[in-house]
Each structure stands twice: as structure tokens, then as C-alpha cells.
Amino acid sequence: MPNTISGFSKLSKSDKIEWLLDTYFNDKTNARALVKGYWNTDDKLQKLHDEFIENTITNYYLPLGVAPNFLINGSHYTIPMAIEESSVVAAASKAAKFWLERGGFKAEVLSTEKIGQVHFMFLGDFKKLQIFFNYVKPKLISETATITKSMERRGGGILDIELRDKSEDVPNYYQLHATFETMDAMGANFINTCLEQFATTLKYEASTYEAFDAKEKDITVIMSILSNYVPQCLVRAEVSCKIKELKSKDIPHPEEFAQKFKQAVSIAEIEPYRAVTHNKGIMNGIDAVVLATGNDFRAVEAGVHAYAAKEGTYSSLTHCTVENGVFRFWIEIPLALGTVGGLTSIHPLVKFALEMLQKPSARDLMQIVAVAGLAQNFGAVKSLTTTGIQEGHMKMHLMNILNQFEATEAEKTKLIEHFKTNVVTHSLVVEAIETLRK
């Protein structure tokens, strides 16, 4: 059986599965049962999921957990998190509780501007292009009127369009660099539709512009697309308290803890190898909430990491000061999120997550997500600079190891009890299972 196929997307779901089974699997019965075992018994719900993408064969589950006790700007939240990594939700919940008792998180949206670009080639004099751009700019705006109408009614729309000269980097390359306000929508479709209209108008108007010669009239549009780099769509979240108020069961010596914590953050600010891991921990929290709320975590990841490198060296997204007896820890990140449109109105669990968050605006969600990132980082750096990460991580990972060895409920109860007071390592867990089973 060849393992290439044409017309695959036109096959029925069952035929697609059968083709896969015939092509790649020895034990077809088991593989078929596995794939179909993940289908939802509610056909309508399954169809909804099938239609999110092309060639769906089944569902891929991630746990949806919740982290309660977040106090953000005086309001209480339970934060939904979709993630597979054992210790993330536990760490977020622990950090939330810690800061609940110390005034909670303060968060603030600093800006909400999004960006899109039309990249084009122009063979001619830049000064003439500038004059043409000034002439055509009102048309670029007016010809998107039908696209922008409802966004403008909601308070958003096109903020500005600039002409940018990039011809020193790539010969004949210029941009329309446009900024947008998309209110509660992430806005990708809105922005891309506007940009494609700008491109059409630009090309047509140039072709009929009298002052241009034949070469100048022939603008080549390379592409029109939003940017996931949104350094002007920024949110900041912060925690602070008197150093002595950090004292807790895990932090017996708050002054020493605060200094060590600050040093750990300073290291992540200057050392890219550490910064990447430090920020990965932040993204554990951010991605989990972004995913649970039906937003595009790839877009967020790309934009956040670009922001982390904005000074030319990859650096920490969080910062810390210990001054005048006060510990202060904050994050500043770009987040283009939506609470309307996209998956938010169709995925039942996304609707559930948004309702749990009290139907946030996009601005509210930016604050909640930034807080989740900050809390996650607080938890990670606190563990790293005190007990080390493995203690908590392995405790949470214990269940995965027990499941890997198909431990029964009775075995799990005994072993969880045993490892409450014993170090968890993979080999020690295996040893304990074997001893129990002897």
C-alpha cells in the first residue's frame, strides 16, 4: 500500500481513518478503537470539532484545570488553564493564594494598538511615491468603509496608515504600515481584510496615477498580512509587599529570599540561556489561559518572544526590585487577545471558560493572562531559589509515573501517601511499585 494519496480531504472521516489504518498500523482493531474512543458521543458536538479544521479524525484531549483565589485589581477570579504539564496549575494556584494574602495582583492595560502591513515593490522615485501616498491615503481609508463600519460602531477601526521606505534593506521594497484598534476582537480577520483592500486600492490607484511613468504605475504587492508583533498592545501586571510580609512557611527568611529572588530575575535579564527558560515558565501560565479562552497561543508566543528580544538580546519578561523595604515584581508583555469572534463563540468549553472569568473584555483578559504569567514565574523562581524545582515538580509528576505503570487505585493511594514524606524520583517510584507488587 503506497503511503501517499490524492483527494484525501474529500474522503469521509471513516474512510480517512481506514486509509491510515491500512497504511500505517499492524493492529488495526486497536488503533481504530482508540481513535473512535475519543469521539464525542454527542454527534452534534463532535461535528462542531470536526469542522474546526481539515482532515479531523478524532479529538486530542488536554486537561482543563482551574486555578482559584486570584485577586486582580480587587476582583476575585478562578482562572481556567488548558495544559498537560503536571505542576503548572498547582503552582499558579499556590502563587494566587500567596498573593491573595498580600493584596493581590495589580494589572493595567498600557495600549491596545495592533499592526498590519502591505509589503510592496515600487520601481521609481521615493519622493513621487510619497506624494502619491498622501493623495491615495484618504482613498485607502474610504474604500474599506464597508469593512470597518461595524468595528467603528464598536469604537475601533483603522488608526493610521504610514508609508515606510525599506528600500535600503531590500531594493525597491516599501510598506504600508497600518495601525488598528480592534476592541474585544483579536482582529486578525478584520485587519487582514482591510490590508487586502488597501493592496487592491494601492495597486489600482498607482496604475491610473498620471504623474507615474509606466514602471512606477506597476506596483507589485508581495503580501498583505497582520503582524503578530504588537509592542503597542501592552499589559503590565505587578505584585508588591513589604519584604517582611513575604514571611511564610516556605519563606522563613524573607530578606534573604527577596534578595535571592531579585538576583534570579537579574540573571534572566542579562543571560539569554536563563532568560529563555525563565520566560518558558511564564508562558506555561500564559499559554494555558490563552488556550482555555480560545485564543491563538502561537501568535501570543511569537509576539511575546519578539518583545523579549526588543533590545537586541533575549531577556526576561519579568522584573524585580527590592528597595526601601518593599519587594516589587512585575511583568510587561504584548498580548493581542479577543473575547469575541473566533473560537470564543463556538467552542463550548471556551464559552464556559469565559463565563467563569465573568465575561471579560479583551482588556480584562489581557490583565488576567498577564497575571497568570507573573504568578507562574513567581512560583517557579520561588521554588528554584528555595527548595529547587524538582521537589514540587516530581510530586506532581508522580501520578504520571503511576499511570505509566498502570497502578490500581489502591496502589496509588498507598504510594501517594508514601511519597508525601519521601523524595520522588522516577527510579524510586518504580522501586516502590515493584516492592508493593511483590
Q: Segment near ligand MEV (CB under 6 A), from 35-43, 106-114, 336-344, 380-388?
A: 380-388
Give 86 or 228: the residue with its C-beta nearer to ligand MEV: 86
β-bridge mates for residue 105, sequence order = 72
Provide the minimum distance between the beta carbon of 267 and ligand MEV in the complex, in angstroms, as a whole number. Answer: 11
From 280, 395, 412, 418, active-site residue: 280
Which residues in the 267-326 window bind ligand MEV by CB under 6 A?
Answer: 277-278, 280-281, 284
Provide the minimum distance between the beta carbon of 331 and ligand MEV in the complex, in angstroms, as a whole number. Answer: 13
Provide the minimum distance between the beta carbon of 385 and ligand MEV in the complex, in angstroms, as a whole number. Answer: 10
Give 291 or 380: the residue with its C-beta nearer to ligand MEV: 380
Provide the minimum distance between the beta carbon of 243 and ligand MEV in the complex, in angstroms, as a whole number. Answer: 22
Do 235 and 109 form a contact (C-beta atoms < 8 A)? yes
Provide the minimum distance between the beta carbon of 268 and ligand MEV in the complex, in angstroms, as a whole number. Answer: 8
d(CA 220, CA 395): 59
d(CA 289, CA 89): 10
d(CA 186, CA 193): 13
85 among known catalytic residues = yes
d(CA 182, CA 197): 17
Give 370 or 381: the residue with its C-beta nearer to ligand MEV: 381
Per-residue binder mask for ligand MEV (CB under 6 A), 226-265, x = binder: ----------------------------------------
Question: Would you call 228 helix, strand, or coil by DSSP?
Answer: coil
Q: Segment near ligand MEV (CB under 6 A), from 218-226, 346-354, 378-386, 399-407?
A: 378-386
296 among known catalytic residues = yes
Provide the minimum distance between the beta carbon of 85 and ligand MEV in the complex, in angstroms, as a whole number. Answer: 6
Give 180 or 261: the residue with its C-beta nearer to ligand MEV: 261
Burial of 100 per CB tally in 10 Å (0-12, 13-18, 19+): middle
d(CA 337, CA 364): 10
Q: How far is CA 320 from CA 264, 278, 301, 326, in A?
A: 9, 13, 22, 10
Nearest partner of 69 among 349, 340, 371, judged by Cα: 371
d(CA 287, CA 296): 9
d(CA 436, CA 283): 38
d(CA 413, CA 426): 17
Give 115 or 304: the residue with its C-beta nearer to ligand MEV: 304
63, amino acid identity:
P
CA 25 to centroid of chain Cα atoms? 35
Which residues in the 388-407 window bind ligand MEV by CB under 6 A?
Answer: 389
From 16, 262, 393, 397, active-site residue: 393
How far separated are the first and last CA of the chain, in Å rounded? 47
Give 86 or 224: the residue with its C-beta nearer to ligand MEV: 86
d(CA 286, CA 300): 9
From 196, 205, 296, 364, active-site residue: 296
Determine which residue in the list 21, 73, 85, 139 makes contact with ligand MEV, applying CB under 6 A. Answer: 85
From 85, 218, 245, 271, active-site residue: 85
d(CA 94, CA 100): 10
d(CA 314, CA 269): 8
Tell me the residue number closest to ligand MEV, measured at CB: 281
Rule CB under 6 A: is residue 380 a binding residue for ligand MEV?
yes
Give 389 or 436: the residue with its C-beta nearer to ligand MEV: 389
Provide the minimum distance between the beta carbon of 91 and ligand MEV in the complex, in angstroms, as a whole number. Answer: 8
Would you tell me which residues interact with ligand MEV (CB under 6 A)?
85, 277-278, 280-281, 284, 380-381, 384, 389
Residues annotated catalytic, as ranges: 85, 280, 296, 393
